[in-house]
């Protein structure tokens, strides 16, 4: 026999360890510090600014970033002990040629603090020598107490240029929505059964994910930084 993990365990681990929003932001900035960032920021964009029609938050830092392997082997593995077990990296590309720093976050769940900022979430990360990685997820899917963690798909792709960004984002949206919508009748029936007790939540997630549009000014700002 083996343990099986319900999807909501991730939500309980994240929010159960975080007292409030300021604490959540602090935990995320700790991760930025551990990634050798010097500039960390949080900007809250509200409706009426530029082409913003829905409020959203941008949390960013200028740390070393992640490639796909880093995301798959570290970010997506909860409780990873890579920080606490590994030796401090030598001064070089892994420290962005800065002096080594004491580790701030060691529990392996600080990344879950981002769920406090809102949902859905688009994560962009770039490591030197690798293309931009994009991951899309709506944390509310973890509120379904009928789902097991192994049943939830988190889409990720790489972005080659600013011109391909919009199309790549649409693919991420579609891949995530496959958790909730299927063209196969039998698969859709199974999905509906899993969500039969939380139909409103399911419909809300679908509507919100479908309605997301990339803001032009933000796209230019992100690629200018990357």
Contact in structure between 153 and 176 (CB atoms under 8 Å): yes
pLDDT at residue 53 in the model: 86
Q: What is the pLDDT of residues 8-40, one digit of tens each?
A: 888 777 766 777 888 889 889 999 999 999 999
In the chain, which stretches have pLDDT less than 50?
none
136 strand-pairing partners: 122
In 3D space, the residue among 171, 69, 200, 220 whose CA is nearest the CA of residue 130 turns out to be: 69
pLDDT for the residue numbered 166: 87
* Contact between 218 and 56 (Cβ < 8 Å): no
CA distances from 198 to 118, 148, 174, 186 (A): 19, 15, 21, 19
Give the separation between CA 223 and CA 226, rounded to whole angstroms: 5
Torsion on CA atoms 212, 137, 141, 79, rounded to nearest 10: -160
Give dist(CA 118, CA 7) in Å, integer.
18
State phi, psi for 67 to the nearest 5 degrees. Answer: -95, -175
Measured on CA atoms in the order 134, 138, 143, 148, is the torsion positive or negative? Answer: negative
pLDDT for the residue 133:
96
pTM of the complete model: 0.90
HSE-CB at 76 with a 13 A cutoff on CA atoms is 19
H helix runs in 58-149, sequence order: 68-70, 82-85
pLDDT digits (tens, 9 = 90+) for 176-207: 999 999 999 999 999 999 999 999 999 999 99
Tell me what pLDDT residue 131 has: 93
């Amino acid at each position: 026999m083996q343990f099986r993990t319900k999807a909501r365990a991730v939500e309980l681990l994240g929010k159960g360890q975080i007292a409030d929003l300021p604490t959540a932001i602090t935990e995320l900035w700790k991760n930025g510090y551990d990634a050798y960032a010097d500039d960390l920021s949080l900007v809250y964009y509200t409706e009426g600014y530029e082409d913003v029609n829905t409020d959203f938050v941008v949390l960013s830092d200028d740390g070393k970033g992640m490639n796909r392997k880093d995301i798959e082997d570290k970010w997506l593995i909860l409780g990873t002990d890579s920080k606490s077990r590994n030796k401090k990296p030598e001064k070089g590309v892994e420290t962005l040629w800065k002096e080594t720093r004491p580790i701030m976050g060691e529990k392996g769940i600080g990344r879950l603090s981002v769920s406090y900022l809102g949902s859905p979430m688009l994560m962009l990360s770039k490591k030197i020598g690798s293309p931009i990685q994009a991951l899309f997820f709506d944390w509310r899917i973890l509120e379904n107490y009928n789902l097991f963690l192994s049943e939830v798909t988190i889409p990720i792709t790489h972005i080659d240029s600013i011109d391909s960004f919009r199309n790549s984002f649409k693919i991420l949206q579609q891949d995530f929505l496959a958790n909730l919508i299927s063209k196969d009748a039998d698969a859709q029936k199974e999905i509906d059964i899993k969500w039969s007790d939380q139909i409103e939540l399911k419909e809300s997630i679908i509507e919100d994910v479908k309605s997301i549009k990339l803001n032009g000014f933000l796209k230019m700002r992100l690629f200018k930084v990357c």
